[in-house]
Amino acid sequence: MSQQRVLVVDDEANTRRVLEIMLQKMGLATRVASNGQEALALAQRESFDLILTDLRMPGMDGLALLDALRAQKIETPVILLTAYGTVESAVHAMKSGAYDYILRPFDVEAVERTITRALTTERTRRENLFLREEIEKGWGEFVGRSAAMQQVYDLIHQVAPSNTNVLITGETGTGKELAARAIHRASPRKKALFVPINCAAIPDDILESELFGHTRGSFTGASHDRVGKFEMAHGGTIFLDEITEMPLPMQAKLLRVLQEREIERLGSNRRVPVDIRVVVATNRNPQQAVHDGTLREDLFYRINVFTVEMPPVRARIEDIPLLVQHFLAHHGTKLGYEHLHISEQALQSLQRYAWPGNVRELENVLERAAVLSRGQLIDTMHLPQELVAPVAPVASPARPSVAERSALPESLSLTQAIEQLERAFIVRALTQTDGNKAKAARVLDLSERTLWYKVKKYGIA
């Protein structure tokens, strides 16, 4: 990621110098201005991620600068530097849109923390602006622009206009039902009904009458005529979800419907023509299901004319920021939090996780985080424990959140912390390989010589 840029504004050369050095140590690029006008001119010409300005300056003071920036639609966060005596005007400044204020004399730690937090928020704000535009380029209800999803959209487009049966496969929560609805909506049948049936949720003895309907008195309890789902879907699309959960005798009856395009209600021998498009889904491997005997082979061949495979989330992690933005906007609005943001650290954790429950699991995690955050910046502490990889704060670039900083041991230097981690990795690899250095070196992707050296360096027995 590119270096972030900070503008320092102060009429005292000394303070400017001190802040400049501090910011450079934090890995930030800096520019300085000695008064409000100069700062305003710079901010119009160049783009900054943060502006640190003295509150009291001759001419245009910090507050006037803030107003002037906002009047010009420059939304860069502004932090005010202020002496103890002027806290009141600092508070006033916060109300007029300053990000925060820092009291003089500076506490270096506190200054660094405030700056880090402001920069993280700013980065997220910019990403969100970008993402909002991107989402509008999504496709129907689908969010995702990865190559894997583009391929899904293409397949849906290709198959939708025809009457071809479609088999949708994919792990749980990957959007199979969404895809089935998309096929229906993009088809000439869109004015008629989309009728979904979850074969796993309906008891076996009711499924047949659900699908085919029945006439009054055809079995005990059948007190009225009843239209089945096949008839309901006439002219439209029927979606049979979890097809491998359908009992085999029912699968045989379904096959007949697919071949003859006619049904009989239970208790009636009148044949009714049905004009339906059939889409089925399963989260199993269909060939394996045939092999295991949970899917009839003849039915499989009938429905396997055109297959759409939904990719798991971990195969399209580049879509995660978009999905996050989408669900935060959705749940934020429901909870009355207008602009929910997520920290970079938290986003990284989400991109590292394997998501066995796919989009549904991601949505649940974000809904929970939105509630826990109470409208504040969503951070790793709002995510379930198993999502937050223990090595994250060390392995990822600088700018940890405030929460993570305090979770790190204060007394260690960076070098010491890295060495501790390195030692722990080496010990683990050696334990896993029963002390075999050649194998451990391969696990760690080190040369044997390097491993040998490090074992000696850390005094590992």
- Contacts with ligand ATP by CB under 6 A lie at 142-144, 170, 172-178, 283, 359-360, 363
Cβ proximity to ligand ATP: between 124 and 174 the closer is: 174
CB of 117 to ligand ATP, least distance (A): 30
Considering only 49, 54, 171, 177, the residue that binds Mg ion (CB under 5 A) is 177
Residue 119: its H or E element: helix 108-135
β-bridge pairing 306-309 and 262-264: unpaired
CB of 95 to ligand ATP, least distance (A): 38
- Segment near Mg ion (CB under 5 A), from 25-33, 176-184, 270-278, 377-385? 176-184
Query: For residues 57 and 11, what is the distance between their CA atoms, to the nearest angstrom?
Result: 6
Query: For residues 277 and 196, what is the distance between their CA atoms, to the nearest angstrom?
Result: 12
CB of 177 to Mg ion, least distance (A): 4
CB of 247 to ligand ATP, least distance (A): 19
CB of 244 to ligand ATP, least distance (A): 11
Q: Which does 213 bind (CB under 5 to 8 A by kind): ligand ATP, Mg ion, none?
A: none
Cβ proximity to ligand ATP: between 76 and 174 the closer is: 174
SS3 437: helix
SS3 303: helix
Residue 154: its H or E element: helix 147-159
Cβ proximity to Mg ion: between 177 and 404 the closer is: 177
Query: For residues 242 and 347, what is the distance between their CA atoms, to the nearest angstrom?
Result: 32
CB of 360 to ligand ATP, least distance (A): 4
- Segment near Mg ion (CB under 5 A), from 34-42, 46-54, 141-149, 172-180? 172-180
Contact 180, 239 (CB under 8 A): yes
**Bridge partners of residue 95, in order along the sequence:** none
CB atoms under 10 Å from CB of 408, counted, come to 12
Structure tokens at 300: 């499989």
Q: Measuring CA to CA, which residue among 281, 286, 366 is closest to residue 323?
A: 366
Cβ proximity to ligand ATP: between 253 and 360 the closer is: 360
- CA end-to-end span of the chain: 40
Q: Which residue is nearest to Mg ion (CB)?
A: 177
β-bridge pairing 226-227 and 213-214: antiparallel
Q: Which does 286 bind (CB under 5 to 8 A by kind): ligand ATP, Mg ion, none?
A: none
Residue 432: its H or E element: helix 414-432
Residue 323 phi/psi, 5-degree rounding, is -65, -40
CB of 198 to Mg ion, least distance (A): 7
> DSSP assignment, residue 236?
S
CB of 172 to ligand ATP, least distance (A): 4
- Segment near Mg ion (CB under 5 A), from 171-179, 257-265, 327-335, 403-411? 171-179
Cβ proximity to Mg ion: between 77 and 286 the closer is: 286
Q: Which residue is nearest to ligand ATP (CB)?
A: 175
Q: Which does 359 bind (CB under 5 to 8 A by kind): ligand ATP, Mg ion, none?
A: ligand ATP
Alpha helices in 227-285 (DSSP H): 229-232, 248-260
Q: Which does 174 bind (CB under 5 to 8 A by kind): ligand ATP, Mg ion, none?
A: ligand ATP
Verify binding: residue 171, Mg ion, rule CB under 5 A.
no
Interface with Mg ion (CB under 5 A): 177
